[in-house]
Structure 1
Amino acid sequence: MQSQWGIMHGTHTTPVGRVRDGALDLLKWLALLSMVLDHLRYVGLSLDGLYVPGRLAFPWFCLAIAANLHRTRNAVVTGHWRYLGWLLLFSVISEVPYRMFIDDADTLNVLPTLALGLLVARGWQQKALIDRGLALIALILGAVFSSQLMFGFFGVLLPLAMLLVFRRPWYFSVLPGWVCVAANQWQILLNSGSVVALTGLVACLIAPLAGLMLLQYAKNVSPPAMRRWAYALYPLHFLLLLLLRKALA
């Protein structure tokens, strides 16, 4: 394996917004699939084993954020504000379907965590005062409201940890791997000692490396482009799974 990821050394400054990255689209689709598999555990069937592939969803969404920031680091910044706006909008839209499906939810849905993580990662990448200020606010919010955020404070840090790996040798993926482990209640999983829990921890640890390998070696794939309409899939999948649970009851 090469000592450096090829995707980390682009030096062109040509706008990249119109160029689809097939590997990145594939990563997003696989993250979505992992999330759906994870949530299938709540439809009333004995599907506890789906917890393991479900651990890939959040780190791969964070990696997608980091990859978008890296690809557009020299592009017009308005795209990043639109990105944040869509995350915030669907954070609100998704909360009711999320709580309808997860009856005992004790955190917000995952999108607020991703929105704060985007601000933190962008604040590290950009030197503008507004970006650094928003990143600091996001860090403070992540720390103060860690128990209300899905994946907590370490979840807010994960997009930044992913972004840092883009300019490092492949083995640096252990950094976001450990951040991902910390974001997934590792103490509870470790104390559980079950095969599913321990395998889930391993999945958290290797998810960043697996995602980076996919971005590196799946450049020739051409999955359907995941555009803005894909945000609606998040609240929609909760409603569809809720209907499935009622049908199986």
Structure 2
Amino acid sequence: MAAVLQHLSVQPARSSSLDLIKWLAMLTMLMDHLRYLWSDAEWLFVVGRMAFPLFCLGIAANVARSRPGDLYNDGNLRYLGWLMAFAVVSELPYRLLSPMSSTLNVMPTLMLGLLVAWGMHHRDRMSGSMAVAALLIAGVLHSRLMYGAIGVLLPAALLVAISRYHRWWLLPATVAVLANTRNRWLAESSLSLETVAILLTAFATPLLGLWLFRQAWAPRIWAVRRWGYFFYPSHLAALHLVWIAL
């Protein structure tokens, strides 16, 4: 799944700060899912709220680096194809690890978010039609999508913030909070230190990601490339096997 971020840089040269964002996304996602092995570690859920906004930032940056109107190219086709493929591949390991979940795995939300971001960026008839279709699908599947229809809007909100940072930085932070409010764990909990921490983390993560996006880091970081697509279903399956062994 972390390979959603593989096109994160808007510059031709590889950026260490963007590779850092990729690793942060993977690490926080893994920490979130470790709750299935250590159910008492509720703080892992708070940390896990960082993963989704960081993956959405990857989608937004991938779209932002393309020339408006240049939708029809092999790179975009492969990008959408990989997301579609792993939305299907990831469902079984996700269901095995979280059989009580009422939502699909996160990949369909990210895939629909990509289509909406394309519509906002390219603004032609085809991209606009795909964006409208994605929004309609998100509305119909709202209860089944992880982070709901609001989560589908987060890549587009981050895309706006990338191009108009100083005026629009609050937009993705607000969308991230709203997307998290439909989480069943949060909805069933009364106002507490944990729920406040969840919402603050959701609010702060897009801001942190946008800040990192603009930094230049001297140390080189191991790049996350196409292999990252396999990380999402693989780590879900591995955690399920560990859970069985325990």
Q: Report the TM-score when normalising by structure 2.
A: 0.88
Report the CA distance between 1:105 and its aligned residue.
1.4
Aligned to 1:132: 128
Aligned to 1:205: 203
Q: 1:247 to 1:187 in 2, by over 3 A?
A: closer
Farther-moved stretch of structure 1 (222-231 vs 53-62): 222-231
Query: Within the alignment, does 1:73 sit opposite 2:71 as a pair?
Result: no
Report the CA distance between 1:235 and its aligned residue.
0.2
Helix, strand or coil: the match of 1:206? helix
- Quote the Cα distance in structure 2 between the aligned partners of 1:104 and 1:45: 14
Whichever residue aligns with residue 195 of structure 1, its letter is L
Aligned to 1:157: 153
**1:64 maps to which of 58, 69, 93:** 58
Helix, strand or coil: the match of 1:73? coil
Whichever residue aligns with residue 102 of structure 1, its letter is S
Aligned to 1:113: 109
Helix, strand or coil: the match of 2:206? helix
Query: Within the alignment, does 1:180 sit opposite 2:162 as a pair?
Result: no
Identical pairs, percent: 44
**1:193 maps to which of 188, 191, 194:** 191
**Does the CA contact (< 8 Å) of 1:186 and 1:201 recur in 2?**
no
**2:144 maps to which of 107, 126, 148:** 148
What is the root-mean-square deviation of aligned Cα atoms in Å?
2.0
- Quote the Cα distance in structure 2 between the aligned partners of 1:150 and 1:129: 28
Report the CA distance between 1:128 and its aligned residue.
2.6
**Does the CA contact (< 8 Å) of 1:23 and 1:221 recur in 2?**
no
Aligned to 2:27: 33
**2:212 maps to which of 214, 217, 233:** 214
**Does the CA contact (< 8 Å) of 2:53 and 2:205 recur in 1?**
yes
Unaligned runs of 5+ in 2: 1-9
Report the CA distance between 1:232 and its aligned residue.
0.4
**Does the CA contact (< 8 Å) of 2:148 and 2:182 recur in 1?**
no
1:146-199 CA distances to partner (integer Å, 9 max, x unpaired)? 111000001100000000001223463211111111111268737522222210
- Quote the Cα distance in structure 1 between the aligned partners of 2:218 and 2:74: 29
Aligned to 2:237: 239
- Quote the Cα distance in structure 2 between the aligned partners of 1:71 and 1:220: 22
**Does the CA contact (< 8 Å) of 1:28 and 1:60 recur in 2?**
yes
Q: 1:171 to 1:55 in 2, by over 3 A?
A: farther
**Does the CA contact (< 8 Å) of 1:51 and 1:196 recur in 2?**
no
Q: 1:221 to 1:73 in 2, by over 3 A?
A: farther
Q: Report the TM-score when normalising by structure 1.
A: 0.87
Farther-moved stretch of structure 1 (103-112 vs 125-134): 125-134
Aligned to 2:14: 20
- Quote the Cα distance in structure 1 between the aligned partners of 2:222 and 2:207: 24
Structure 1 runs, 4 residues or longer, greater than 4 Å off: none
- Quote the Cα distance in structure 2 between the aligned partners of 1:186 and 1:146: 10
